[in-house]
Amino acid sequence: MTDAPQHITAEMFEALKQAFDNSQVMFELGERAYRSLQEEVKNVNLELERKNIELQKSLAEREALEREVLQAKTMAALGEMSATVAHEIRNPLGAMGVWAGLLERDLEPGDPRRKTLGKITDGLAKLNKIVLNLLVYTRPISTEFRRVRLDALLDEIADFTEIEIERLGRDITVEKNFTAAEKPYVIMADPEKMNQAIINLCLNAVQAMEDGGTLRVELGEKREDGGENVDDANDAGGNNYIMFSVSDTGSGIDREHLKKIFDPFFTTKEDGTGLGLAIVKKIIESHHGRIDIKSEVGIGTEVICYLPYSEDK
């Protein structure tokens, strides 16, 4: 805007000029406000997207949790049912064993019916094993733990395993290595259950070495090279962890099987119940311990257990 045209007064011209300048400022302000609003909308959209992803994630987590709870409930109901069934069939099973024994006594040594009877008693023995394992698996573990010397317990079980190896006539050497443990480790435990867990591990090791090998029982503090759990071998409560392991130079376990070995009833053995390791896991975890397994096909297997212990016990 330069000079005012003739028919417009100077005042009018000034007012128009002022109005024009003002409108330009308004326009700029409006544009700035629009841009910042646009930015805000973009941010809100981004935030919405992020929240949406979070929501989807927590929904998926919730669904997974619900599935887990349902699975736990089903397992608990199944456990209860199997415990009841196991309990109910224990007595008739025992009686059948007694009757089969009496029948066997009545048969002459060369009687061909002995073979048939043998099949019946083999079946009974397997059923008995399933029933006993089911009862161990489903029964609650004592909460009143006693002081147990882990080195003495391992020593005793290693000796028992040697007797079993002899009975089976296998060429297996049992090695005990308790030297890494400087002192007799006393843990608070249910001695019977802990005994059962270690025996299960030793029996698995023996069964994996059909052609002989070495079974090693070890006791020590945390492992330098150990499994995944070693980094936190000292827990937040200041507990120390004692480690014991049972290893063999047997068949080893392939990857696919390794994922399932702690599942109840998973077995690759004709006369196995598949409850051995499920029982071991339950026992170790009820002692606030952890279990780790390393295995290589054709080389062997090592099961490592960590249990908390405290110096002043």
Ligand X SMILES: Nc1ncnc2c1ncn2[C@@H]1O[C@H](COP(=O)(O)OP(=O)(O)OP(=O)(O)O)[C@@H](O)[C@H]1O
Convert residues 198-237 into a mask of x (bound to ligand X by CB under 6 A) and - (unbound).
--x---xx--x-----------------------------
Q: ∠48-49-54 over CA atoms, to 5°?
A: 95
The interface with Mg ion within residues 200-229 (CB under 5 A) comprises 204
Position 274 contacts ligand X (CB under 6 A): yes
Binding of ligand X at residue 131 (CB under 6 A)? no
Q: Which does 121 bind (CB under 5 to 8 A by kind): Mg ion, ligand X, none?
A: none
- The least CB distance from residue 299 to ligand X, in Å, is 10
Binder of ligand X out of 136, 194, 261, 284 (CB under 6 A): 261
HSE of 124 in the Cβ direction (CA atoms, 13 Å)? 18
- The nearer residue to Mg ion, 187 or 253, going by C-beta atoms, is 253
Asked if residue 239 lies in contact with residue 198, where contact means CB atoms within 8 angstroms, the answer is no
Under 8 Å CB-to-CB from 252, ≥6 apart: which residues? 208, 295, 296, 297, 298, 299, 300, 301
Give the chain's count of helices (H) and strands (E). Answer: 6, 7
Tell me the C-alpha distance between 247 and 176, whole Å.
11
CB-nearer residue toward ligand X: 139 or 149? 139
Rule CB under 6 A: choose which of 213, 226, 227, 250 binds ligand X.
Answer: 250
Least distance to Mg ion, CB of residue 248, Å: 12
**Which CB, 250 or 308, lies closer to ligand X?**
250
175 phi and psi, to 5 degrees? Answer: -115, 135
User: What is the SS3 assignment for 243?
Assistant: strand
Q: Which of residues 133-192 bind ligand X (CB under 6 A)?
A: 133
Side chain identity, residue 299? I
Does 249 interact with ligand X (rule: CB under 6 A)?
no
What is the Cα Rg of the chain in Å?
Answer: 36
- 79 or 272: CB nearest Mg ion: 272
> Binding to ligand X by residue 248, rule CB under 6 A?
yes
* Tokens found for residue 220: 């020590």
CA–CA–CA angle 245, 198, 149 (5° rounding): 85
Closer of 100 and 203 to ligand X (Cβ): 203
Interface stretch with ligand X, choices 119-127, 232-240, 250-258, 283-291 (CB under 6 A):
250-258
Whether the Cβ atoms of residue 251 and residue 298 lie closer than 8 Å to each other? yes
CB atoms within 10 A of CB 46: 10
Contact residues for ligand X, defined by CB under 6 A: 133, 200, 204-205, 208, 248, 250-251, 253, 257, 261, 266-269, 272-278, 301
Binding site for Mg ion (CB under 5 A): 204, 276
